[in-house]
A = this chain, B = another copy of it.
Amino acid sequence: MLQTVLNDLGIAVFASSGAMVAIRKGFDLFGIAALGVLTGVSGGVIRDVFLGVHPPTSIQHWPNITVAVAATAVATLTAKHLIRFNHIVLPLDAVGMGFFATSGAAFAVDHGASWFAAVLIGMTTAIGGGIIRDVLVREIPMLMRPADLYAVPALIGATAYAVIDYFGPQWIGLAVGTVLATTLRLAALVFGWRLPTGPPDLIVGEGS
């Protein structure tokens, strides 16, 4: 039950972020819905392709994409206001990211992945949608450029899940991993935690 709420929340927030980017780029309504849906569910679709779940869950069953479409509709109708509420959207996005990283790792373990694979697939579940979104709108993925930590909290949350699941019950791993990834992401936003770049004098051009 709580897992369904967190899953739908994550998809809705991710889809809204995709829809907002599409609106800013001047996409038409199909493009807005498509980018929203792809941002919302692509992480899970990649997870399922890697694990051999055919067809991917979000495609075979209607709830995830329905939530994503509804979220893009709401985002489009309220776009003028939504754009000023980043201080609400970013924390919700952090919760979705944390839950996807951890539940993606759990799903991978349940489908025969190694611990190593579970951590990678968990992180991919959390960040895949954002990467697909950025590639489709011709941006360099935000996750790879210097910005407040996002992928690293996902990686740590998925790792925490795998370690705890190895020793104890899965639900504790899910809870701790989700809270840990979300908290680290929120802390990165508040304190501006970033990773350094490579040697600065080798950077060429505008870098974006």
B-binding residues in A (CB < 8 A): 19, 22-32, 34-35, 49-52, 54-56, 59-62, 65, 76, 79-80, 83, 108, 112-114, 116-117, 120-121, 131, 135-141, 143-147, 149, 151-152, 194-199, 201-205, 207
Q: List 22 A-B contacts (CB under 8 A).
A: A19-B198, A23-B199, A26-B203, A27-B146, A28-B194, A28-B197, A30-B149, A31-B145, A34-B151, A50-B59, A52-B54, A54-B112, A55-B113, A55-B121, A60-B113, A60-B116, A76-B199, A80-B201, A83-B202, A131-B136, A136-B140, A138-B139
Q: Are A197 and B23 in contact, CB atoms less than 8 angstroms apart? A: yes
A140's partner among B25, B32, B52 (CB-CB below 8 A) is B25
What is the CA–CA distance of A115 and B207 in the complex, to the nearest angstrom?
43
